[in-house]
Structure 1
């Protein structure tokens, strides 16, 4: 199935609103913003399909106008069903000056013999704020399908003013890789990442708060790296998708997404 989704936001006074949306089955979009007076718009991406099927081709486009703030949520775990060939997805995000975007989808669950590739391309202008996360599981663990999928390939590239700033290339082919070795999964079954870019953010203070929070979590391994542009890249390894997803959401809730300067005396606590 070939499916498309296109979201356009605009700003009226201080509020972000949904200017235009175009979807084809199985996609749908719902406005779940709780505070209608708030600047941020919260949308939920829904699907009538039980998951990604063999031969599916998804095209997703999100356009944020100047000064807009959007949080895009997902409805449930994304299941990649058993495939004879493969499925693909392309997501493109266009962020005008001073806009903010947060996307932390539910974990991906690749079933046995599934093959999936996705390319995420994000274009940011000046003064933007981005929170982008991903959680990948080993498959249906309770069904004995631990790393039984064929391959999973995800490329995420971020451009700031047309200049490539970040390029993530995640490729897992269990049949050809020793995932238990050093530098791979090292005995863990789930992994997650969170990218935060904000030129106004207080990166040292934020990093200290995130480190303190993640250090208190049991059963995970994490690392935090500075990015070429002001921001952080967080990587997590664990045994449970829900735990890693909760960690990402908790961290994201405490990340400043304002595009205005923050006082240097501000302290961040998670």
Structure 2
């Protein structure tokens, strides 16, 4: 089945609006919570299908126009069912001048004998910013299907001012690779990637050098400035939800940092309005004023990231978001 999704986000005044969207079954794109809750635009991609089937083709096109700010969410884990021929997903993103786009989807879970290829092509204009993530699981671990899929190929190309600045090409073939060895998954079951491409990349790298000073108990990660305008974070873990929460927190930190550098911090919403409920895997933001959360401490040796994720499972963004924002604010004040 061929499925297409198109999204156009444009800025009017201080507000980013959904100017055009189209989709066909089984996918749907709707506002994520109240459309009046933020100056930026938040959308969620939903699906009535149990997952991606053999022969499926998904084409996704996202256009973020000049000065527009878009956060694009997913509904749940992307399940890849057993296949003979395979499935493919193609994503094209265009972010215009001073635009900001954040997309951190739920993990991809390949079932036994699944075959999948995803190709992402992203073009950024001058002063545009991209926050892009992905998480690849080894399979249905608790069903004994770790690394039982046939092939998973993920290609991400990011262009800035028409120049290729980042290429992430991952080909995973469990039948031909020692995936539990060093330089592969090293006995972990999930891999997460966060890409930040922006004119503020070097400054973000300097902040991360100060913030990410401790390793997590159940996550191993590293980060590097892989180009003058690009920073990449790679993390390994054994739980998809935990990695998704952590990656979302890092993505939100990148968002807040970019807004700060652009001088466009948004005020907290004052209206009291509850957004419609969505699946428990990703809670919907609510406009009702909440007492300030103190947030958990960053996870250090002796405190597990798993316990931290369980404690704050209902928070819309990620468990360490408040802590990371506070640390970032302190770093800015000190400078």
Q: TM-score range by the shorter chain?
A: over 0.9
TM-score by length of 1: 0.93
Query: Superposition RMSD on alpha carbons, in Å?
Result: 1.9
Per-residue Cα deviation, 1:17-74 (whole angstroms, up to 9, x for no partner): 0000011111101112547263210000011111000000010000011000000000
Cα distance in 2 between the residues matched to 1:251 and 1:239 = 18
* Larger Rg, first or second structure (1 or 2): 2
Larger helix fraction of residues? 2
Q: Which residue of 1 aligns with 2:323?
A: none
CA deviation after TM superposition for structure 1 residue 84, in Å: 1.4
Cα distance in 1 between the residues matched to 2:240 and 2:177 = 21
Asked whether the 8 Å contact 1:205–1:267 carries over to 2, the reply is: no
Q: Which residue of 1 aligns with 2:204?
A: 203
CA deviation after TM superposition for structure 1 residue 210, in Å: 4.4
| SS of equivalent residue, structure 1 residue 118 | strand
Q: Which residue of 2 aligns with 1:220?
A: 219
Asked whether the 8 Å contact 1:209–1:268 carries over to 2, the reply is: no
Asked whether the 8 Å contact 1:33–1:41 carries over to 2, the reply is: no
Change (3 A) 1:238 1:260: same
Q: Which residue of 2 aligns with 1:76?
A: 76
Select between 102-111 and 215-224 the one with higher mean Cα deviation.
Answer: 215-224
Asked whether the 8 Å contact 1:70–1:100 carries over to 2, the reply is: yes
Larger strand fraction of residues? 1
Per-residue Cα deviation, 1:76-106 (whole angstroms, up to 9, x for no partner): 0000001111000100001110000000000
**Deviant stretches of 4+, over 6 Å:** none
Structure 2 residue runs without a partner (length 5+): 265-328
Per-residue Cα deviation, 1:153-205 (whole angstroms, up to 9, x for no partner): 00000001111110000110000000111111111111110001221352244
Cα distance in 1 between the residues matched to 2:16 and 2:229 = 25
Asked whether the 8 Å contact 2:131–2:197 carries over to 1, the reply is: yes
Name the count of aligned residue pairs. 265
Q: Which residue of 2 aligns with 1:10?
A: 10
Structure 1 residue runs without a partner (length 5+): none
